[in-house]
């Protein structure tokens, strides 16, 4: 009798342990973002090249961030600008401090990014390099003002000049000089998708341009009146970018002056004025 009870108790304990581990294994990856969740750990490590540089955030004003860092002075913290101990390694002087691009304006910028064309279900699609990589060469002499503003919600408007190059057709597809974008880049301004947890994301042009800060135009030439679609193997192609994204790229050019790597009065932890970047 005692042996039978002990066997039953053992079976019940084993069953309880199995139920516990089954429930834990059914946890979702996104549970790590919840305030209260099951005890579960998922570790993801990424050592790819894209981890070498920062992620763009359109709510941050990178022009103001550049100014703050560039204008730090070894003596009083913020009054003098340029080469005190933080230095623009590309230009070598205060060009970007004096010439930020307009944060909310959309430009066309040529970069040495590269494009490959492939046939996908009978449609020609373009695949480019990672335009976010700051090691790519961008040609600021080939930067075109689209005279189009993009707000925080991804909506477009004229910049006040009446020369807006980016418009919408009746179906709200993005038009450049009245033409839909080639090579599979033809999308609508907004494409809202609800995820299983209720989160809303915008896979349209407005959402994609705001999120990473760039979107491939499909063109290798964007002179008004003579647009030229990219071809397979082209290296230099045009992307839609925001002025704020260009300002972020200039941030990557700031480094400590080599002969003064640890200056008196350098910014300390917690000293960065994040409130100015909203």
47-51, 83-87, 109-113, 258-262: which is most confident? 109-113
What's the whole-number mean pLDDT along residues 165-190?
96
**CA-CA-CA-CA dihedral for 13, 16, 18, 19, to nearest 10:** 170
Residue 243: how many other CB atoms lie within 10 Å: 22
State how far Cα 154 lies from the chain centre: 14
- Range with the poorest average pLDDT among 28-37, 107-116, 214-223: 28-37
Q: Is the predicted pLDDT of residue 161 greater than 80, yes or no?
A: yes
pLDDT value, residue 259? 55
* Better-predicted residue by pLDDT, 88 or 265: 88
What's the whole-number mean pLDDT along residues 76-85?
56
Token pair listed for 262 = 């640890």
Confidence grade of residue 266 (pLDDT, cut at 50, 70, 90): very low
CA dist list (Å): 247 to 102, 163, 191: 9, 23, 27
What's the whole-number mean pLDDT along residues 76-92?
63
Confidence grade of residue 93 (pLDDT, cut at 50, 70, 90): confident
Q: What is the tens place of the pLDDT at every residue in 211-251? A: 999 999 999 999 999 999 999 999 999 999 999 999 998 88
pLDDT value, residue 54? 78
What's the pTM?
0.73
pLDDT value, residue 242? 95
Mean pLDDT of the chain: 79
pLDDT value, residue 12? 63
Q: Could you tell me what percent of the chain has a pLDDT over 70? A: 71
What's the whole-number mean pLDDT along residues 12-30?
56
pLDDT value, residue 73? 60
């Amino acid at each position: 009798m005692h042996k039978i009870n002990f066997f039953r108790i053992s079976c019940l304990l084993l069953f309880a342990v199995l139920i516990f581990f089954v429930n834990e294994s059914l946890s979702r990856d996104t549970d790590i973002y919840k305030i209260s969740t099951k005890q579960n750990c998922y570790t993801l490590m990424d050592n790819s090249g894209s981890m070498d540089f920062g992620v763009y955030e359109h709510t941050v004003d990178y022009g103001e961030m550049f100014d703050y860092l560039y204008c730090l002075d070894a003596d009083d913290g913020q009054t003098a600008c340029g080469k005190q101990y933080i230095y623009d390694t590309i230009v070598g002087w205060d060009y970007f401090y004096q010439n930020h691009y307009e944060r909310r304006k959309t430009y066309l910028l040529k970069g040495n990014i590269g494009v490959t064309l492939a046939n996908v279900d009978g449609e020609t699609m373009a695949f480019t390099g990672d335009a976010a990589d700051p090691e790519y060469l961008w040609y600021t002499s080939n930067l075109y003002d689209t005279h189009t503003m993009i707000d925080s919600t991804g909506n477009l408007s004229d910049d006040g000049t009446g020369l807006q190059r980016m418009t919408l057709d009746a179906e709200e597809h993005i038009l450049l000089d009245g033409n839909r974008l080639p090579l599979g880049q033809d999308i609508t301004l907004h494409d809202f998708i609800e995820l299983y947890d209720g989160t809303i994301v915008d896979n349209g042009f407005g959402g994609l341009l705001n999120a990473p800060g760039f979107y491939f135009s499909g063109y290798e030439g964007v002179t008004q009146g003579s647009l030229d679609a990219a071809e397979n193997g082209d290296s230099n192609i045009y992307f839609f970018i925001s002025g704020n994204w260009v300002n972020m790229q200039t941030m990557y050019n700031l480094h400590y002056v080599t002969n003064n790597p640890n200056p008196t009065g350098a910014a300390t932890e917690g000293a960065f004025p994040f409130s100015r970047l909203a």
